Structure 1
Amino acid sequence: MTEVLDTPNLAASQRASLRADFLALHGFASLTPLALPADASARRYFRLAEAGLLLMDSPPASEPLGPYLRVADLLCRLGLSAPQVLAADERTGLALIEDFGQDTYTRLLAAGHPELPLYQLAVDCLAQLHQAPASLSAALPAYNAARLAEEYGLFIDWYVPLLIGAEAAAALRERYLQLFAQACQAVASRREALVLRDFHVDNLMLLAGRMGVAACGLLDFQDALQGAAAYDLLSLLEDARRDLPDSLRQQMLSRYLGQRPELDAAAFNADYQVLAAQRHAKVLGIFVRLAQRDGKKHYLSHLPRTLGLFIRALDAPALQPLRALLDHHLPAHWRHGLDDKAQVQLRGLSHCMPQEQP
């Protein structure tokens, strides 16, 4: 069994030394790695511009490298574009991977690139991925009831306490989990596709010189599971980071289903609705946790959009009991966002609030 270094306990200087040794071992000692902006995870990336590579630093104790390597290999074998891995060391959690450049969907859309062809490409990529035999992803962990519950539980554990306090949220937790579990019963049993889980504009790239679905570069897929095919499509079309017109969302749903005539469209749409509520509940909790626990407050700007998507998802027939529970126990304003007191608590702005005049 390969020994794993407990890298989170290593000093930053020791981690930097590991990276330097790894680069030297593979002939890149003369290159200066440029640190890229960090995301919500513990992973870090460094650009080796002269070599067209990225150095991935994925701490083994929290972000083991093995899942990334296995899913990347699977995606490439399916004709999709995951970064090629030049070298990897699972013990240290370091890898040299292909650099796809800087044309993420997020940057392209911000620069005015037409959104329709980008979304068409992403949907076509998903359709090809999901047409692969489910047996190819059978070795991946299942997106089962326990994993779904761990995620939608983040809403009651992190977001709801801002509305009614920690004690009241804890008292509501069991019934909330029961009703969500009932709604997710069908999707929890699905083992029909490889689910990338973070299929959205930040993790998609347009790759010049590649044809067909290979032009869609895939990032951040190491947490992939085997589950319901609807999950990644809703992740793309109901993005916490940007508004998407309903007309485009419906057009892309039709495009996907048009490429998969073997599916029961009604069942797929029912899965989509339930998983939308599940994902948005998760994301609301994650964004609050990132702000409160990790000090990453920039994610709070996405809360209003995500809440709106969650509210809409609760209109699905399977979610009616859960919606009734929340409407009964949460303040009347909960559908409109956090009140001023919660906003101050969450953002840590009390020190700069204006003083009341006597």
Structure 2
Amino acid sequence: MTAAGDLRAAERQRFAEEAGFGGALVALPSDASPRRYFRLPGALLMDAGAGAADFPPFLAIAAHLKRLGLSAPAILAADAARGLAVIEDFGADTFTRLLAAGRAEAPLYELAVDALAALHTAPQATGIAVPAYDLGPLREELEMFTGWFVPAVAPGLDAGAFADRFLGLWQQKLAGVATVREALVLRDYHVDNLMVVAGRSGVAACGLLDFQDALLGSAAYDLVSLTQDARRDLTPGLEPALVSRYLAARPDLDPAAFTAGYWLLAAHRHTKIAGNFERLSKRDGKHGYLVHIPRVLRLLDRALGEAGLTDIRALMDAHLPGWRRHAPAAPAA
């Protein structure tokens, strides 16, 4: 560990003790986020980094979700300046871990859909000061594709010229959904970030994690995150059943309009993720995400068709030959 790392470790320990949680900190596995988590006796310590911009939103959104009757971790102690918090420990039962251990798939996903519908129908759910999911963040996410995926697939391409055309087409397609403010969009609503919380029933049994980047936007986005998971294949037939379950809980929605938004945002999300997984490998050395890119591209190809984005797909076919077959391997150590 570096000297800076030693100092940060000491700061974490001191903060935990000041909050009344002594004992050794046991590091938990990290993910795509720069945040780190440590298990304490009876709680977790979250290290977001000093001055982390997403730390105050995490605290505010966690409290908001709890007020809505959903299970976000309770904040037991926090220091925004230091980027440290002691939070409720939901245990180890992430949906991902439960599925790997053989837990039935459909009931877990149904619980997640029910929790999402409860969030979207809760009074005052959008009554929180978070940014809008407008063309700004929508375009920034697509720039991960043009900035990282495109050079990996077509290194000789004039990436700037391609990006201008590609982003211009997307801006036209997203103009409508960019104005929607109907839901608090958690943005990474998938099995890695969902937990079964022991001792709770109904939608409160679904523990919510990783929501600090939430925005106000379309209700379809988080459903896509869940049902078209970049990291795992769902059993055939489960996705349409889950979409039907969500729509049954939302009789206020126009099913045709919702479905159109669902497929548009599916195509957008898979485009973003293809670029992000390349970025995580090349920039951050997190090569484990590369194995998921073939799945993401299959999902993207399907979503482009379902959303009727034929001009975007034609541009990709013309300038990114073989993009569907892109299957990068992790670099040798």
TM-score range, shorter chain: over 0.9
Q: 1:162, CA displacement in angstroms?
A: 1.3
1:155 aligns with 2:145: yes
* Structure 1 equivalent of residue 35 of structure 2: 43
1:348 aligns with 2:331: yes
* Structure 1 equivalent of residue 18 of structure 2: 25
1:191 aligns with 2:167: no
* Structure 2 equivalent of residue 223 of structure 1: 213
SS in 1 for 2:106: helix
* Structure 2 equivalent of residue 140 of structure 1: 130
Query: Which AA in structure 2 matches 1:19?
Result: R
SS in 1 for 2:77: strand
Q: 1:60, CA displacement in angstroms?
A: 3.6
* Structure 2 equivalent of residue 356 of structure 1: none
1:326 aligns with 2:309: no
Q: Tell me the alpha carbon deviations over residues 121-140 of structure 1, each in whole angstroms, 9 at most, x when there is no partner.
A: 00000000000246643411
Choose from 63, 69, 80 the match for 1:73. 63
Going from structure 1 to structure 2, the CA distance change for 1:11 and 1:166 (only over 3 Å counts) comes to: farther
1:208 aligns with 2:181: no
Query: Which AA in structure 2 matches 1:27?
Result: G
Gaps in structure 2 of 5+ consecutive residues: none
Q: 1:311, CA displacement in angstroms?
A: 0.7
Q: Tell me the alpha carbon deviations over residues 185-215 of structure 1, each in whole angstroms, 9 at most, x when there is no partner.
A: 1111110000000000000001121110000
CA distance in 1, matches of 2:62, 2:193: 14
CA distance in 2, matches of 1:234, 1:45: 27
1:253 aligns with 2:236: no
SS in 1 for 2:237: helix
Q: Given that residues 199 and 235 in structure 1 are in contact (C-alpha distance below 8 angstroms), is that contact kept between their aligned partners in structure 2?
A: yes
SS in 1 for 2:184: strand
Q: Given that residues 156 and 169 in structure 1 are in contact (C-alpha distance below 8 angstroms), is that contact kept between their aligned partners in structure 2?
A: yes
Query: Which AA in structure 2 matches 1:164?
Result: A
Q: TM-score, normalised by structure 2?
A: 0.96
Choose from 315, 324, 332 the match for 1:335. 324
CA distance in 2, matches of 1:201, 1:135: 22
1:170 aligns with 2:174: no
Q: Given that residues 294 and 324 in structure 2 are in contact (C-alpha distance below 8 angstroms), is that contact kept between their aligned partners in structure 1?
A: no
Aligned residues: 332
Rg larger for: 1
SS in 2 for 1:11: helix
CA distance in 2, matches of 1:321, 1:183: 10
Choose from 40, 57, 60 the match for 2:47. 57
Q: TM-score, normalised by structure 1?
A: 0.89
Q: 1:12, CA displacement in angstroms?
A: 1.0
